[in-house]
A and B are shown apart, each in its own frame.
Chain A
Amino acid sequence: MSQSTPAVKTVEQREQVVILFAGDSGDGIQLTGSQFTENNALFGNDVSTFPNFPAEIRAPQGTLAGVSGFQLHFGSVELYTPGDQCDVLVVMNAAALKANLAKLKQGGIIIANADGFDTKNLRLAGYPEAANPIADGSLQNYVLHTMDVTKMTRAALEGTPLGMKEKDRCKNMFVLGFINWMYSRTLERTEGFIRRKFAKRPDLLEANIKVLQAGYNYGDTSETFTTRYEVLPAPMPKGTYRNITGNQGTALGLVAAARKAGLDLFYGSYPITPASDILHELSRHKNFGVKTFQAEDEIAAICSAIGASYGGALGVTASSGPGIALKTEAMGLAVMLEIPLVIVNVQRGGPSTGLPTKTEQADLWQAVFGRNGEAPIPVLAASSPTDCFEVVYEAARIAVEHMTPVIFLSDGYIANGAEPWRFPQAQDLQPITPPFAQPRTDADAGPFLPYARDEKGVRPWAVPGMKGLQHRIGGIEKEDGTGNISYDPKNHERMVGLRAEKVRRIADSLPPMDLAHGPESGDLLIIGWGSTFGAIRTATLELLEEGHSVSHLHIRYLFPFRKELGTILKRFKRVLVPEMNSGQLRQLLRAEFLVDAQGLNKIQGLPFTSTEIRQRAEQELQLINAHTA
């Protein structure tokens, strides 16, 4: 450690900061970002994150294609998005700078790893001969700090038995230590994390902590850095919080729902980005009665879940668009069988393989319409990482209580993004009551009717092993009541109607629909669904602050629509629907309610910024004003 007296540092307060960590996909960027996020969340900041990484596991080093990024928004105020533009850009190499400079605010801070700007890296990033942004003055509109991360990491590990490669893998800890210093955080929690992670490798444990501290001390002793920042805790609602990603929220919501329903959870799945983390999470919770099954393909994944539900468990399958396409036929079977099933679609860019690691919400029509015959399935969407818990829980409740497959839509943005979660108590979760059939005795008269319906149109759940309830079901059209095969034309029409009516009636039992923000009626209504929530909310709040008549409605139940939706739409002069697709919800709204909804559409594999929504909303407001003037 340096013996010199630390330079005098000033501390400035910031209300909110957006910081983007970027480097090669092998640089440990995601770990650095998520660890700094946890530290800020535990300190009491509100946080919102956006990990953005290439589809390749190890894309060619140093190239633009290989850049991995982790954007973190943290603040002493409530936050709803990972931020439109960055205050700080941390780059491990030239490619990371080139790929992300446009996201940095004018005057923003760049922290650059000097070793990543050697001739080779500059060439790989495609900078012209002799140009070096960190040396040629081209970044004069920003505050540029360079540091030799590699050199200082190696120096910190001098004398340890680690090889050069292993030493260099600790680079990200130097950055993490430094950033923690810069934002006046302590290292305790991160050190605890390292101890757990490397419990079996004491040499790596020690090395990582050494480098982490070296990065922190570098901030303290280096004379280059004279200012530290402080972001105070956010005034969030009282309660106990944890940090959670959308995929974690989905996994926990499923465990909670099964537990509250008194059922075992069976999760059949085939690995696919960005849904696999749900499988990883659930496979750790076997002591909750969670059985995970990595099937041979997507079709087997859903069919195994159907088999488990048939056996009396809560069957769940998950995938992303291409995998959901493969599950389509089996979804139709689940509709015919009328058994509980939750189908999770963590959407990504499509069509076909599309953009596996990028986000999109273009599978709405697939969810609502994508089956042969008339096969209505309720569709619900989550709006944020924490909402994933609530909505998948609700999806499971509907599946069990209404004996139907249910599609739950998430997307890559909220699946990988994280935010603080004021987690509920198990006892406060809504009860879930499976409509189990009553076993019969020989004294019961007449045959068991597997397709007799209650007042909600729901059939009883008769599970193998229940005495006297033996029955046969299948994908062929069934006779009303008995479930026997029937080709009777009138019976088919009646059954199509009964299945549709059962799904329609789900909306009857839901609590009334509320606007997220803004007046009950007025000029402009912005309607969103899914992960656009944060950006729409931020834009709406800003416009309301400026005195505009703008309201925000976010749709959780995409099929069937809530009854009151039509009347809400009619209370506004104009309706704007921002979507990360070409207008799928907009078409559904126009078809169902004959409303002249306008679209704001972005299909770039990236979430909306609040500025994009705000600007489009302002255009709409101008049109309204021009019309009324």
Chain B
Amino acid sequence: MTTANEVVNGAGAPKVSYASDQEVRWCPGCGDYSILKQVETVLKEKGRPKEEIVFISGIGCSSRFPYYLDTYGMHSIHGRAPAIVSGLRSVRPDLSVWMITGDGDALSIGGNHLIHLLRRNVNVNVLLFNNEIYGLTKGQYSPTSPEGAVTRSTPMGSVDHPFNPLALCKGADATFIARGMDRDVKHLREMLLRADAHRGTSLLEIYQNCNVFNDGAFEVFTEKATKAANTLFVEHGQPLVYAGGTRGIKLDGFTPVAVDLTDGTHSVNDLWVHDERDSFKASLLVRIFDDPRKEGALPRPFGVFFVADRPTHEAKLNAQMALAREQKGEGDLDALLRGEQTWTIA
């Protein structure tokens, strides 16, 4: 059995286009364009035959994604892509499957399916486009909109506490958790490659700017002037440094604390060294989720937070299928219809 992760790009394979003939119809300036371009780049780089790739989406702006790629694709119904993926994967472990979803699709209407996809560890690359707003329905608050968000459905500000998506996924025992952003394409490309290489459910949250209904929601993380001080790019085996190496995060017991590396009080050796295989530390890392507008906020982490090896749902299912055939032999339909006890009327 081959899986998406095992397929190696044939060296020197002709570079084919993975774009479909359909005109891309997101709003001009939408962050989705950048994500589409990086996904295309990654597909090209991996060079897997187009017919072996499937994109499944739910409903929302991001869910139009499958139409723009010349692969197999299904634009399904709101929130249900994880369930469709689970069925597809159960019968087709040979394909490369990607799931495109948004903050409303994955965390609101489809929240139940998402957590079960993660606990089962179905082998799929989940790209969760988080723009903290409902775009397709024109500007209502989403389950990731911050408290107090003034939107078309919350003129006095949202009273709902938002989800921390990656903490939710960690709670559901996801085996791959990462965060990227539409504006940092080089990092995004790397995250996509890592997600694709993981066997199991790869959950990649992508901060994506909705320039029509929620413009600038992530600008503190994406704009040059503020990016360095407010973002923390984690790398396996490396200490948590940010702000151009002038600041870092150390662990004070179980509490992450930001420290200055220039005033002589702390050195790199005092810092938390990222270990993406450490489940307990990953649970702390996903919890670094401060509101950047608040004084003393910790920087928002990006990168691969956590990776674990756990057999996929379909691998376990197919192992049972193989075992059943080994123990009972290939099913004999006549024997099944006959059952255990019969009588004959002559």
Contacts and interface: CB of A to CB of B under 8 A. Distances in A.
Given A238-B345, A286-B320, A300 B116 contact: yes
B50 to A, nearest CB: 5
Contacts of A255: 331, 333, 336
Contact of A472 (B75, B77, B83, B337): B75
Nearest to B49: A467
A421 to B, nearest CB: 9
Given A240-B343, A337-B74, A423 B56 contact: no
A300 B51 contact: no
Contacts of A189: 341
B102 to A, nearest CB: 15
A301 B328 CA distance: 28
A469 B321 CA distance: 29
A486 to B, nearest CB: 11
A38 interface: yes
Contacts of A311: 87-88, 91-92, 95
B92 A300 contact: no
A303 B83 contact: yes
Given A311-B88, A472-B75, A476-B75, A300 B83 contact: yes
A241 B66 CA distance: 52
Contacts of B343: 41-44, 240-242
A44 B333 contact: no
A287 B343 CA distance: 26
B164 interface: no
B26 interface: no
A310 B95 CA distance: 12
A303 B82 CA distance: 9
Given A38-B341, A467-B49, A288 B334 contact: no
B331 A285 contact: yes
Contacts of A300: 80, 82-83, 86, 112-113, 116
Interface residues of chain A: helix, strand, loop or mixed (majority): mixed
Contact of B77 (A330, A464, A468, A469): A330
Contacts of A472: 20, 22, 66-67, 72-75
Interface string A300-321: 1101111111111101000000
B341 A287 contact: no
Nearest to B64: A485
Nearest to B115: A296
Contacts of A304: 83-84, 86-87, 90
The bracket for how many chain A residues form the interface is 35 or more
A458 to B, nearest CB: 19
B76 A291 contact: no
B317 interface: yes
A508 B328 CA distance: 42
Interface in A181-231: 189
A465 interface: yes
B298 interface: no
Nearest to A313: B91
Contacts of B87: 266, 268, 293, 303-311, 315
A424 interface: yes
B76 A303 contact: yes
A293 B73 CA distance: 23
Contacts of A452: none
A17 interface: no
B336 A242 contact: no
B72 A312 contact: no
Nearest to B109: A299
A447 B21 contact: yes
Interface string B1-45: 000000000000000000011100000000000000000000000
Interface string A395-427: 000000000000000000000000000011110
A259 interface: yes
Contacts of A237: 345
Contacts of A315: 87
Contacts of A244: 339
A594 interface: no
Contacts of B116: 295-296, 300
A475 B75 contact: yes
B75 A474 contact: yes
Given A285-B336, A303-B80, A475-B75, A240 B91 contact: no
A470 B336 contact: no
A397 B325 CA distance: 26
Contact of B83 (A295, A423, A471): A295
Contact of A423 (B21, B328, B337): B337
B331 A473 contact: no
A264 interface: yes
Interface string A27-67: 00000000000100111100000000000000000000000
B336 A329 contact: no
A608 B339 CA distance: 30
A305 B66 CA distance: 20
A247 to B, nearest CB: 14
B137 interface: no
B83 A299 contact: yes
B339 A423 contact: yes
Contacts of A306: 76, 84, 87
Contacts of B21: 447
B74 to A, nearest CB: 6
Contacts of A22: none
B269 interface: no
B325 A426 contact: no
B160 interface: no
Contacts of B66: 472, 474
A296 B79 CA distance: 13
Contacts of A301: 83
A425 B94 CA distance: 34
A44 B91 CA distance: 42
A464 B344 contact: no
Given A42-B343, A287-B328, A299-B83, A308 B49 contact: no
A44 B336 CA distance: 21
A625 B159 CA distance: 73
B90 A286 contact: no
A233 interface: yes
A242 B51 contact: no
A467 B320 CA distance: 30
A291 B336 contact: no
A236 interface: yes
Interface string B313-335: 00001001100110111110110
Contacts of A168: none
Contact of B94 (A287, A424, A465): A465
B138 to A, nearest CB: 17
A241 B112 CA distance: 45
Interface in A445-494: 447, 464-476, 484-485
B304 interface: no
A297 B114 CA distance: 12
Contact of B344 (A240, A305, A467, A469): A240
Interface in B213-234: none
A289 B342 contact: no
Given A38-B341, A303-B80, 4 more contacts: A288-B331, A295-B83, A299-B113, A472-B73
17 contacts: A240-B344, A255-B336, A287-B327, A293-B86, A295-B83, A297-B112, A299-B80, A303-B80, A303-B84, A306-B84, A306-B87, A307-B90, A308-B87, A310-B84, A311-B92, A464-B72, A470-B71
A-B complex: 8 closest residue pairs judged by Cβ atoms: A474-B75, A307-B87, A304-B87, A288-B331, A303-B83, A286-B324, A300-B83, A307-B84
